[in-house]
């Protein structure tokens, strides 16, 4: 792995984050709605508004406000949430594991289902299974995640009462928060009842989020495999008399995974920022829900913090995906 390349990419990341911070900061101050107007008590006067603006530093010019904010951020101080009166980074870090746990679970489901169905469709080409796979891909793409979420809630929660439909854990269970990843925390504490509760709560939101991504993975895997199976080395493997499942799973799939990795990497970033509706529907206490509250209340420091963290995760995941290429296919080198 090329260290120079990694350093170059890290510098790009800093530049990207700087750009994101400027755009977010300016947009938030240009769009209508200001947090001071939203927190005014009935008896406040115009003088009170001026004083409150000064207390929150909103009376200064935008470039000065940005300068102060940036200096603080570089020192690790993202400010205090206007609505929640708490340290912004504390709030973001508190919510981040919930979103990450959900997105990781959704990505894992999408990968497992997508690769399995995509590969099966190729192995059983033009059969009923292939058509079923195609139908699933179409449905997965056509129906958005929040609609899956509502359907799951109606069927699994309201009609059949088999799975919980809100939150991360049952009201009766209490977990000791160690990492914020409840599945991990319950395992660390050997709390299997807690683990089971967390697992059940994760199923519906994770599937809702996973199905559209599954559809994408099915399509990418299918098209990649269709290309790969035409290669000479696959023909050779078949001539050698290897079983079809060995040819596909061992020889063809590895190369077909490269475009899938790219897609999943990019989609992971989108999922991080796209969990909002699923989090709201399932009352999932993640970053998406926090972002919505922050936007409604025009909590400027909190919005800036959430956006910056999401942007950071997005660029880091992209870097990791790029580095993964070299692992999956050693022929790829970065200079």
Partner 1 sequence: MEKKGMKKIDRRTFLKYSGAGALAFSSGAMMNSFVRDAFAADRGLTIAYNADIPSWDAMNSVFPTAQSPWKCVFDQFTTQKQDLTIIPEIFSEYGYTDKAKLRFEAKIQKGVKFHNGDELTAEDVKFSFDRMKSEGMVLQFIWGAIEETKVTGKHSIRCKLSKPFPSMIAWLCFLGSYVYPKKYFDKVGLQGFLRKPIGSGPYSVAEHIKGSHLKLTAFEDYWRGPAKIKKSTFRFVTEPTSRVAEIESGSSDLTFEVPVEEFTRLGKNPNLKTVAQPVSDVVHFFVNDIEPMLDENVRLAATMAIDREAIVKYVLQDMGIPIYGLNCPEYAAYNPDLTIPYDPITAERLLAVSGYSKENPVKFTVQTTNGFVAKDFEVVQAVVGMWKKVGIDAKIEVYDIAKHFELRAADQLAPIAFYVWGNATGDPENSTGHTMFGPSPHSTWDTEDVDALIGPLLSEGDYKKRMQLYKSAEWYIVNHGMVIPLYQRKQPIVYKKNLRFKPYANNWILPYYMEWI
Which residues contact partner 1 by CB under 8 A? 32-34, 36-46, 48-49, 55, 83-86, 91, 94-95, 98, 150, 153-154, 157-158, 161-172, 174, 196-197, 200, 280-286, 289-290, 292-293, 296-298
Q: Which residue has the tokens 């499942």?
A: 245
Shortest reach from residue 182's CB to partner 1, in Å: 10
Closer CB to partner 1, 165 or 225, in the complex:
165
103, 198, 206, 272, 317 from 275: Cα distances, Å: 8, 18, 10, 6, 16
Shortest reach from residue 232's CB to partner 1, in Å: 35
Shortest reach from residue 278's CB to partner 1, in Å: 11
CA–CA distance, 150 with 40 (Å, rounded to integer): 37
79, 149, 301, 310 from 306: Cα distances, Å: 12, 24, 9, 6
CA angle 53, 56, 59 (to 5 degrees): 45
Closer CB to partner 1, 265 or 273, in the complex:
273
Closer CB to partner 1, 94 or 130, in the complex:
94
Residue 296 φ then ψ, to 5°:
-60, -40
Shortest reach from residue 317's CB to partner 1, in Å: 23
Shortest reach from residue 290's CB to partner 1, in Å: 6
The DSSP call for residue 247 is I
114, 148, 205 from 105: Cα distances, Å: 14, 16, 9
26, 63, 277 from 300: Cα distances, Å: 11, 15, 21
Shortest reach from residue 178's CB to partner 1, in Å: 14
Closer CB to partner 1, 146 or 249, in the complex:
146
DSSP per position, 143-159? S-HHHHHHHHIIIIIII
Shortest reach from residue 1's CB to partner 1, in Å: 39
Separation of CA 254 from chain center: 25
Closer CB to partner 1, 144 or 285, in the complex:
285
CA–CA distance, 311 with 135 (Å, rounded to integer): 34
Closer CB to partner 1, 155 or 233, in the complex:
155
Closer CB to partner 1, 191 or 224, in the complex:
191
Q: Which residue has the tokens 């079983």?
A: 243
Closer CB to partner 1, 141 or 292, in the complex:
292
Q: Which residue has the tokens 């490269």?
A: 258
Closer CB to partner 1, 82 or 253, in the complex:
82
Shortest reach from residue 170's CB to partner 1, in Å: 6
CB-based contacts of 228: which residues, under 8 Å, 6+ apart? 234, 252, 255, 256
Both tokens of 247, joined, read 């040819």
Shortest reach from residue 309's CB to partner 1, in Å: 15
H-only helix segments in 31-127 = 35-38, 46-55, 62-74, 88-123
């Amino acid at each position: 792995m090329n260290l120079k390349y990694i350093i170059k990419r890290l510098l790009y990341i800093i530049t990207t984050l700087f750009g994101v911070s400027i755009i977010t900061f300016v947009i938030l101050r240009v769009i209508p709605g200001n947090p001071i107007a939203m927190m005014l008590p009935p008896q406040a006067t115009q003088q009170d508004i001026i004083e409150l603006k000064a207390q929150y530093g909103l009376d200064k010019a935008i470039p000065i406000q940005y300068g102060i904010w940036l200096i603080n951020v570089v020192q690790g101080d993202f400010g205090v949430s206007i609505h929640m009166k708490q340290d912004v980074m504390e709030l973001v870090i508190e919510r981040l594991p919930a979103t990450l746990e959900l997105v990781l679970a959704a990505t894992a489901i999408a990968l497992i289902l997508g690769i399995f169905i995509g590969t099966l469709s190729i192995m059983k080409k033009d059969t009923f299974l292939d058509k079923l796979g195609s139908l699933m891909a179409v449905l997965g793409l056509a129906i958005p995640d929040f609609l899956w979420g509502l359907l799951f809630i109606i069927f699994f929660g309201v009609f059949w009462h088999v799975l919980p439909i809100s939150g991360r854990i049952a009201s009766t269970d209490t977990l000791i928060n160690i990492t914020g990843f409840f599945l991990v925390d319950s395992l660390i504490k050997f709390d299997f009842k807690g683990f089971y509760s967390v697992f059940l709560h994760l199923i519906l939101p994770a599937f809702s989020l996973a199905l559209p991504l599954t559809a994408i993975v099915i399509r990418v895997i299918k098209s990649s495999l269709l290309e790969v199976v035409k290669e000479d080395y696959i023909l050779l493997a078949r001539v050698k008399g290897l079983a079809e499942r060995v040819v596909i799973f061992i020889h063809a799939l590895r190369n077909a995974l490269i475009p899938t990795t790219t897609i999943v990497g990019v989609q992971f970033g989108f999922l991080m920022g796209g969990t909002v509706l699923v989090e709201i529907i399932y009352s999932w206490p993640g970053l998406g829900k926090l972002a919505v509250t922050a936007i409604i209340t025009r909590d400027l420091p909190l919005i800036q913090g959430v956006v910056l963290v999401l942007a950071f995760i997005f660029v880091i995941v992209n870097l990791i995906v790029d580095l993964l290429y070299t692992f999956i296919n050693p022929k790829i080198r970065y200079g």
